[in-house]
Amino acid sequence: MRLEVENLEVAYGPVQALHGVSLRVDSGEIVTVIGANGAGKTTLLRAISGLLRPKAGRIWFDGREITGWPPERIVALGLVQVPERRQLFDSMSVEDNLRLGAYLRLRRGERKAVEEDLHRVFEIFPRLKERRRQMAGTLSGGEQQMLAIGRGWMARPRVLLLDEPSLGLAPLLVQELFRILRALREQGLTLLLVEQNARQALRIADRAYVMETGRIVREGTAAELLADPILQAAYLGGASSSIPLPSSSTEVAVHARFTRTAASGDAAMGEHGHGGDDASG
């Protein structure tokens, strides 16, 4: 399975947002796209997801060209986006938000499998199980991010497209979130991750692309980019971090730690509901 973008160009009216962008994501990888606010990262994900129609270029998934397909067909193939700022249904319960993630599957009659996956989400994020009847709009920012990722999981994706998942989270939660993402990969999920938090993204990724003003200006393994002194100065604030990630044998244990610290970490940062977000591109 491969997701491939080839010479993609996207414009908002007269303004060119993407200029000949090409990348690939292979099965089982975490690939990250890093860059400053306004670099075109979110536009790239929206084009892959079918939310924006490219003016040129091609998008391929699993050997099939999907350029210009409507979003629901792309989701049905297994390409599922977790959007920036979470975009939850605030007046609906946690459980109902999760079930909405499986909407297309429910239409296909997969009720038993959906119930099994709902149980799995509650195992991964026990905090959501505790809050299953609570309105999504009353959750803390960390809990909302858990819910957004869980909703994406409910679609049973082959590739999860994540747009700035750490946006607005307390530093402790950012650490735990990225460990969760790596744990999801350990369970067989492929991820394309757009992030401004370059250091954390590169520490969990296999490969990475750097975007500036709508163009890919650098690509390579995550280790190569972490060691690049120019990128360190531009995006990483100096020498790269030496904080080790846990081994794969301990990855699953971070789920409970993430959920236990969500409320306390958010409270420490004064985070409530959608608070703490800032602009990104």
Torsion of CA 173, 179, 181, 183, to 10 degrees: -140
The mean pLDDT of 139-168, rounded to a whole number, is: 90
Phi-psi region of 64 (alpha: psi -120 to 50; beta: other; left: phi over 0): beta
- Positive/negative CA dihedral, 257, 263, 267, 271: positive
The pLDDT score that the predictor gives to residue 253 is 38
Q: Output DSSP code: residue 93.
A: B
Between 220 and 153, the more confident residue is 220
- Predicted pLDDT at 37: 87
> Average of pLDDT values for 189-213?
94
Per-residue pLDDT averaged across 238-262, rounded? 38
pLDDT value for 237: 66
| Strand locations in 158-267 (E) | 159-163, 190-195, 207-212, 215-221
The per-residue pLDDT for 176 is 80
The partner residues of 219 in beta bridges, in order of sequence, read 209
Exposure string of 90-105, with b = 16+ CB inside 10 Å and e = fewer, is eeeebbebbbebbeeb
pTM of the model: 0.78
Per-residue pLDDT reduced to its tens digit, 69-109: 999 899 989 999 997 766 899 999 999 999 998 888 888 88
Mean confidence (pLDDT) of the chain: 83
Which pLDDT score, from 0 to 100, does residue 241 have? 39
Tokens standing for residue 98:
């999760």
| Residue 266 scores a pLDDT above 50 | no
- C-alpha 177/C-alpha 179 separation (Å) is 5
Domains of the chain: 3-78+157-236 (3.40.50.300), 91-156 (no CATH)
How far, in Å, CA of 181 to CA of 63, rounded?
A: 26
9 band by pLDDT with thresholds 50, 70 and 90:
very high
